[in-house]
Amino acid sequence: MIIFPAIDIIGGQCVRLVKGDYATASKVAENPLETAKQFEKAGAEWIHMVDLDGAKAGYPVNTEIYRNIAQNTHLKVEVGGGIRTLETVQAYLDLGISRVILGSAALKNPQLVADAVKRFGSEKIVVGIDAKNEMVATEGWLETSEVHYLDLAAKMIGLGVKTIIFTDISRDGTLSGVSAEQLRKLAEATAGQCNIVASGGVHTLSDIITCRDMGLYGTIAGKSLYQGTLDLAEAIKTADTLRIRPMQISDYDALYELWTACGNGLNNLDDSREGIARYLERNPNTSFVAEENGTLAGAVLCGHDGRRGYIQHMSVSPDFRRRGIATKLLNRALDALKAEQINKAALVAFKKNEGGNAFWEQQGFSLRDDLNYRNLALKDMIRFDPEY
């Protein structure tokens, strides 16, 4: 599970609200960039940011702050507040923002959500569902609708949304604990269909454990970090639910779905269930999968002939990218090869696998239309695009 430290901005200042009431805004840190760097130092990979001025105005206001953090830290930045057009989404992504949050637009302009997912991909678009008494609120939480949060979640999933941030406004900024019951209902209603991020009320490590054990994708922490009731480094360590384990033939159906989603070139012989079973029988200790809460996040199919290792497939689900999973998988495979006295490896790839091979090409591989083998010392195979 990912911990998203939060910075909300009003008038260029880092603030927190209580229950979404702008009149309760209080300054919690001096400098947004320095605060983000402190989060990064504590081990955060992501940062959650909201343009509260933009949420009220209906258009971005504090854009320069988000650009500054995206370009001067290694954090992956997700931003929401006042995003109402595809042009605004594009502008944020062009600044280096990793994900854009659509809030009010999800209720008032669902076509925008559908168009954004289609144009930019589900990994770049997040929907924020904020609720008062289980009913969706919009316009910086200043308006409450008659739409139930579970109904809006179902509609968003139907539009292709893969990540939803749910905020119980009655708990936001109160340090009263997460809204476990509403989150549980949402997790059950959307199981296997999208990622759920909890927001609002996080107080202590027990809230992180509650969300982790519920199988949520992430939890946003704000006021608890600024007031010291939650230690970010400890929360990140506690929340880690990613498990790297040996690949088994029982993973085949999920593997095939993953490879297809990533655009990997598959053939009926080697990549059939029987073909993979033979492969794992010959090389039982060098292929691995990454699993989170029972969902296959990534996989590396790796073997050797006694002299040289072969990376046959390296894939990370589009829903789990930008978390360094590929690096973890590859390092695990290379360690396994070393344990079997293999010190050279080769990539096996097709150029036509556009989705699956993007990061290899960025590492300088010249992929051909036919099979491409390249001998590398194992130490040369650990540089990866952070997208993966």
**Residue 349, pLDDT score:** 54
Spatial strand order in the sheet of 375-377: 242-246, 288-292, 295-304, 309-316, 344-347, 375-377
The helix (run of H) or strand (run of E) holding residue 94 is helix 86-94
CATH code of the region 2-239:
3.20.20.70
CATH code of the region 242-381:
3.40.630.30
φ, ψ of residue 135 to 5 degrees: the values are -105, 140
User: Do the beta carbons of residue 310 and residue 282 sit within 8 Å?
Assistant: no
The helix (run of H) or strand (run of E) holding residue 80 is strand 76-80
The domain limits of the chain are 2-239, 242-381
CA distance 87 to 44: 29
**Residue 382, pLDDT score:** 42
Q: What is the pTM of this model?
A: 0.72
Catalytic residues: 8, 130
User: Do the beta carbons of residue 164 and residue 196 sit within 8 Å?
Assistant: yes
Beta-carbon contacts of 204 under 8 Å, excluding residues fewer than 6 positions away, are 224, 229, 230
pLDDT tens per residue, the chain (388 residues)?
Answer: 899 999 999 998 888 777 767 777 778 888 999 999 999 999 998 999 999 998 888 888 999 999 999 999 989 999 999 899 999 999 999 999 999 999 888 888 999 999 999 999 888 999 999 888 888 887 655 667 788 999 999 999 999 999 999 998 877 667 778 889 999 999 999 987 889 999 988 999 999 999 999 989 999 999 999 999 999 999 999 998 889 999 999 999 999 998 888 777 677 778 899 999 999 999 999 999 999 878 899 999 999 989 888 888 888 887 776 667 887 888 899 889 989 998 877 766 544 445 445 555 555 555 444 444 444 444 444 444 444 4
CA distance 195 to 125: 12
**Residue 322, pLDDT score:** 61
